[in-house]
Structure 1
Amino acid sequence: MTPDYGQILGDALSKTGSASSDFDLNPDIAIPEGRVLKPAAVLVGVRENGNLILTKRSAKLKHHPGQIAFPGGKMDDTDVDLAAAALREAREEIGLPSDQVDVLGALPCHETVTSYQVTPIVALIHGDFTVIPELGEVAEVFEVPFTHFTDAANYRVEGRRWQGRRREYFVAPFGAYYIWGATARILRGLAERIAP
C-alpha cells in the first residue's frame, strides 16, 4: 500500500522548528549586521509516489552553476505571496502546472550566504506532467525517493575553503547527484520532522 505522503508531510509541517542558515555549522563566521535579506521561495514538491523533484542548475549561470536545487527563486512584485512565487518559479523552470500542486504549508526560513531568506514551500504534486526545463537555468530535472531524503543516515557534514576559512555544510548525495548546501539543509530539516 502506498503511504499517504500528503498526511506524512502535513504531520511534519505541524511540528515546531526553527529557522536555519548556511552558517549553522560555522558559528565562528560573523554574519554582517544590518544585512538586508531578499525574500525567495523554493518548491519542496513531492509526487504522490513519494518522489521529490529537484533540478540541476545550468553550468552557464553566474550564481550556483551546476548545483542541485529546488525549483524556486526570488519573489517578484507580481507574486501575491511566497507560495505564489514558488509555484511561478516551478512553472517557469520545470513546466509544472500550478493546478496540479497542493500547497501544504511552509518550513521555517533558510538564510543563504548570498543574502536570501528562502521559504521552503512544501507541496504534494498530483498526476503526471511533461517536464520542460527552462534551458537558460535548468540543465536537468530528476527525482529522489522519499526514503532517501527522510533517512538521517544519508546526511553527512563536509566542508571546503570559503573566504579564507573552512566552511562546513550538510550533504546528502544521491547516485551521481551531489546534494549539498541550502538544499541539503532544508531537506534535513524536513527529515528531522518526519523521523519517528
Structure 2
Amino acid sequence: MSVTPRGARAELLAAARALSWSTSFPPLFDAEGAKPASVLVLFGVLDDIPATTREASVARDLDVLLQRRAPTLSSHAGQVSFPGGRAEDADADAAATALREAEEETGLDPHGVEVLAMLPEVPLAVSNHRVTPVLAWWTSPSRVAAVDHAETVEVFRVPVAKLLDPANRYMSVRHYGAQTFRAPAFEVDGTIVWGFTAMVLHAIFDASGWTIPWNEQDERPV
C-alpha cells in the first residue's frame, strides 16, 4: 500500500506541527558565537523504479535529496548531508538560505520547490552553527548534480522506504571528549547516514508516523 503525493505532503505538514527535537544533539561549544545556517530537507516522488515496502504506507513512492560532502572540507568531511549552508545578509529568511545553498550546491531549480515549514533550530556542535531545517516538497523535480566538487562530490535521491527498512537502521555511537552520544543512523546500499542528518530524518519519520519498529539496541561506532 502507498499514499498519494498529496497525502504524503499532508503528513509532512502535520509532522512539522508535531515535531520536537530530542535532547541528544551535542551541545554547542560557543552558543553566543554560533552562526545561523539552514538545510533543505526536500521530499519528492520517486522518478525511478518504486522501492517496495510491506509496512510503511507512505514510503513506497517517496525519496529525499541528499549529498556527500567533499573529503577535503574542514568540517563534516565526506559525510552525507542535506544541501545547505551558512546564512548570508541578503537572505530573506532561513528558507531563502536553504534554497540558495541547494541551488549553488546541486543545481536545484528553487521554483520547483514548495517550502512546507521552517523547523525549530538545531545545534550543530562540530562546526558551531544554529541550523534551521527547512522542510520542503518537490513539486517539479529538476536535474541535480554536484556543482562544486570542492564542496560536494555526489548528489543523490534516497528512497524513503530504504531509510525506514529496519534492516538499514541502527544506533550510532560517537565520543566527544568524555561524553558519549548515541543517535539513530541509517546504512543504505553501503552509504551511511548518521549525525545531524540522520537525527533530523529520524525525528521527521517519527512525527509523520512513518517509522517501522527497529532494533535500537544495535549500536555501532562511527
| TM-score, L = length of structure 2 | 0.76
Q: State the AA in 1 paired with 2:131.
A: V
Instruction: Tell me the CA shift for residue 100 of structure 1.
Output: 0.5
User: What's the counterpart of residue 26 of structure 1?
Assistant: none
Instruction: Tell me the CA shift for residue 9 of structure 1.
Output: 1.1
Distance (whole Å) between structure 1 residues aligned to residue 143 and residue 19 of structure 2: 35
- Classify 1:158/1:88 alpha carbon distance in 2 versus 1 (closer, same or farther; 3 Å): same
Instruction: Tell me the CA shift for residue 150 of structure 1.
Output: 4.7
Q: Is the 8 A contact 2:163 2:188 kept in 1?
A: no
Instruction: Tell me the CA shift for residue 161 of structure 1.
Output: 3.5
Distance (whole Å) between structure 2 residues aligned to residue 156 and residue 167 of structure 1: 13
Q: State the AA in 2 paired with 1:76.
A: E
1:79-94 equivalences under 5 Å are 79-94=91-106
User: What's the counterpart of residue 39 of structure 1?
Assistant: 36
Distance (whole Å) between structure 1 residues aligned to residue 131 and residue 65 of structure 2: 17
Q: State the AA in 2 paired with 1:9.
A: L
- Classify 1:169/1:43 alpha carbon distance in 2 versus 1 (closer, same or farther; 3 Å): same
User: What's the counterpart of residue 73 of structure 2?
Assistant: 61
Q: Is the 8 A contact 2:16 2:117 kept in 1?
A: yes
Q: Is the 8 A contact 1:57 1:140 kept in 2?
A: yes
User: What's the counterpart of residue 70 of structure 1?
Assistant: 82
User: What's the counterpart of residue 145 of structure 2?
Assistant: 132
- Classify 1:52/1:140 alpha carbon distance in 2 versus 1 (closer, same or farther; 3 Å): same
3-state SS, counterpart of residue 14 of structure 1: helix
Instruction: Tell me the CA shift for residue 181 of structure 1.
Output: 0.3
Aligned residue among 6, 9, 15 for 2:18: 15
Distance (whole Å) between structure 2 residues aligned to residue 153 and residue 193 of structure 1: 21
Identity of aligned residues (%): 31
User: What's the counterpart of residue 156 of structure 2?
Assistant: 142
User: What's the counterpart of residue 220 of structure 2?
Assistant: none
3-state SS, counterpart of residue 178 of structure 1: strand
Distance (whole Å) between structure 2 residues aligned to residue 32 and residue 94 of structure 1: 30
User: What's the counterpart of residue 4 of structure 2?
Assistant: 3
Pairwise CA RMSD? 2.3
Provide the aligned length of Structure 1 versus Structure 2: 190
Distance (whole Å) between structure 2 residues aligned to residue 171 and residue 155 of structure 1: 6
| TM-score, L = length of structure 1 | 0.85
1:98-113 equivalences under 5 Å are 98-113=110-125
